[in-house]
Chain A
Amino acid sequence: MKTLIDKIILVILLLAFLTSIFLIFAWVPPIKASNPAEQIAQRIFYYHVPSAWIGFLAFFVVFIGSIAYLWKRERKYELLSVASAEIGVLFITLVLLTGPVWAKPVWGIWWTWDARLTSSLVLWLIYVAYLMLRRYLPDGNKRANLSAVVGIIGFIDVPIVYYSIRWWETQHPKAVMASSEGGLAAPMFFVFMFSLAAFTLLYVYFMRVRYKLLVMEDSINKQIKEMEIL
């Protein structure tokens, strides 16, 4: 049941991602690197970093949705949190997949127990556990309450996890966007922002579709229950 807005977003997304692939592979100048493999591998940065940002955004929405649920007790906040948690896990999975693809040619290894990598994996595990919890519980207020509690504790834990592992030696490239010294060159910055916008729109689209699906599931379940009573 796609509305007109959904269709429009889908078309924009299609165009945006095609454009971003063109920008990343044909338009933006490659970075200065002695290793030619690194020059190619670096281009994954434009998908890797936005995925991470959107993953964090999604988990923040889980946090806000969980608080709103415990406060207002409205089903919509519960569904919003669940939808966002699923999508967040998806994006962090993308981060964990694109990272090794970059690391293999540049570091020579797929994975290392580095600070950033480890904390991202722990983050992923926290929200997978959140989704598992929901799977093991029957639908109802109990499930909504318990998952909201975990959604809140989980998000508060995220900065602590990052902080606890931070003092480890990190090989991971510095956060170029946040650094004071220069940062990205103008064309790179433009492509990055373009990707980020595309990923944000993708998140919005996924949220709309998943949320609607959850509402539909709900109404079907309700009808089944009514039929059972009859």
Chain B
Amino acid sequence: MLKPSLAIVQKDLRMEFRSKESILAMWIFSLLIFVIFNFTFEVSRLVMLEIAPGLLWVAFIFSGMFGLNHSFAVERENGNLRSMALMPVTGGSIYLGKFLSVTIIMLLFETLIFPIFVIFYDLQLTATLFLLIPVILAGTIGFTSLGTILSAVSVHTRNQQILLSLLLWPLVSPIIIWSVNLTSMVLAGEILTNFLPLLIRIIAFDVIFFTISFMLFDYILED
């Protein structure tokens, strides 16, 4: 079961590293979000620190849409979607492959934009900052696990890009809310007792979303 998934991951990553289409677009777009945000809300440093966690996740999810849209848009060309449906593997393994490649690309982009975020918002580099790693990991997986299946849904429509946002954002809002909460705790350096329960909650819902999508993906591929 894992083999076809890994084949998809390999293909997607090879395509990405040859063209660098998604990562570059996501990175530049996030940079733009930071710049535009600075123009539109001229706030003091103190307020900036308070809204920085939200801003980070806005940058992540807005830019993440590029990756998600791109993920299935490339498959639509040359009728790849149909060939995928004809592959003698379950929908679940195709989902897993697509999910993994999108997640890897997104995590790479996040790693590349984070230093810029640190510089722009003058964050203190403390040891607690490492706690952001599980938070970003869990939040991103939640975003991509739902995003992958909804991207496969919206790719069949004329208005793919706008529809993906319409479908995904309300559904993924719980994960984003919790991720922003945890991020603010880490950035403020106040790790409260509910840090771990909240993190576990995100992971639990990641698992739920992943499992449902994994099970339902067969229905999306069939004609």
Q: Judge if B163 is at the interface, Cβ distance under 8 Å.
A: yes
Chain A, 88-134, CB within 8 A of any chain B CB: 122-123, 125-126, 128-130, 132-133
Q: How many A-B residue pairs have CB under 8 A?
A: 80
Q: Which of A141-149, A174-182, A195-203, A205-213 contacts B (4 or more CB under 8 A)?
A: A141-149
Chain A contact residue count (CB 8 A cutoff)? 29
Minimal Cβ-Cβ distance residue in A for B171: A157
Binary per-residue interface labels of chain B (72-85) against chain A in the complex, 1 for a CB within 8 Å, 0 otherwise: 00000000000000
Whether A149 contacts B149 by the Cβ 8 Å rule is yes
Q: List the B side residues contacting A161 at CB < 8 Å.
A: 170, 173-174
Least Cβ distance of B139 to chain A in Å? 12
Which residues 149-181 in B have Cβ within 8 Å of A in the complex? 149-150, 153-154, 156-159, 163, 166-167, 169-171, 173-175, 177-178
Stretch among B47-55, B102-110, B208-216 lining the A interface = B208-216
Q: Which of B146, B154, B178 contacts A133 (CB 8 A)?
A: B154
What distance in Å separates the Cβ of A63 from its nearest Cβ neighbour in chain B?
Answer: 12
Residues of A with C-beta under 8 A to B190: none
Please tell me if the beta carbons of A164 and B174 are within 8 angstroms of each other in the complex: yes
Asked if A146 and B153 make an inter-chain contact with CB atoms under 8 angstroms apart, the answer reads yes
Contacting B156 at CB < 8 Å: which of A132, A146, A154?
A146
Instruction: Give which listed residue, A70, A132, A145, contacts B163 with CB less than 8 A.
Output: A132
**Chain B residue with minimal CB distance to A143?**
B156
CB-based contact A150/B167 at 8 Å: yes
> Which of B170, B178, B223 makes the CB contact (< 8 A) with A126?
B170
The interface size of chain B toward A, counting residues with CB under 8 Å, comes to 30
Residues in B with CB closer than 8 Å to A145 are: 219-220, 222
Q: Does A165 contact B (CB under 8 A)?
A: yes
Cβ-based interface call for B29 (8 A): no
Which residue from chain A places its CB closest to the CB of B159 in the assembled complex?
A136
Contact between chains at A149 and B219 (CB < 8 Å): yes
Q: Does B117 contact A (CB under 8 A)?
A: no
Q: How far is the CB of B98 from chain A (nearest CB, A)?
A: 15
* Interface flag for A16 (CB, 8 Å): no
Cβ A149 vs Cβ B216 within 8 A: yes
What is the minimal beta-carbon distance from B206 to any residue of chain A, in angstroms? 11
Sample of 30 A–B contacts (CB below 8 Å):
A122-B170, A125-B170, A126-B170, A128-B166, A129-B166, A132-B166, A133-B157, A133-B163, A133-B166, A136-B158, A137-B157, A145-B219, A146-B153, A146-B220, A148-B219, A149-B149, A149-B153, A149-B219, A149-B220, A150-B150, A152-B212, A153-B150, A153-B171, A153-B213, A161-B174, A163-B174, A164-B174, A164-B177, A164-B178, A165-B174
